[in-house]
Amino acid sequence: MGLAEDELPPLVDAWRQSNPHIVKFWWDVDRAAMEAVRHKHTNETHGIVFTCRSGMLFITLPSGRQLAYVKPRIGENKFGGSCITYEGVGGTKKWERLDSYGPKFVENIVQATARDILCYAMQTLRCCSIVMHIHDEVVIEANPRMSLDAVCQQMGRTPPWAKGLLLRADGYETDFYKKD
């Protein structure tokens, strides 16, 4: 964005003040994950379950699918505070110890949940042939008599494990793939 380093903190602070529920969610997740690792027991917040067993931190998503972090332990972050460290593939493409904290766990939870929602939608498209999917898009081949509205309505259905979540799908018809 071309901003100087000293211009960033006020922007970050303003965003956080404008989004207190998201910030609270970050730190609730951070606390739940830390407690699960520190005390080796199951902990839950906002419908997300944190369990540390068999040398893994498992985060159970609302769909029931689990994210797994290998050999978790409490470590120290670059600011001197506590964080969770675990083993995984780092920026060097080598196996190494990585660290995480609430906002980063939330990013993983959100992305994984979005994937689960897309997979649920794909499973409901029984009368279509899925050609491919890219991030949040599904490319299908369907009978020309099938209504685009019917496909979008089907894909916009909320999974049973996400009651109250409002979804909507958009689409277009074309003879070849193009980025919308």
Whether the predicted pLDDT of 1 surpasses 80:
no
pTM: 0.90
How confident is residue 179, by pLDDT bands cut at 50, 70 and 90? confident
pLDDT single digits (tens) 24-67 = 999 999 999 999 999 999 999 999 999 999 999 999 999 999 99
Domain residue spans of the chain: 5-114, 125-180
Q: Which residues contact 157 (CB under 8 A, 6 or more apart)?
A: 121, 124, 167
| Phi and psi angles of residue 53, each rounded to the nearest 5 degrees, phi first | -155, 155
pLDDT single digits (tens) 87-146 = 999 999 999 999 999 999 999 999 999 999 999 999 998 888 999 998 889 999 988 888
pLDDT single digits (tens) 93-103 = 999 999 999 99
* CA 66 – CA 51 distance, rounded (Å): 10
* CA 90 – CA 96 distance, rounded (Å): 6
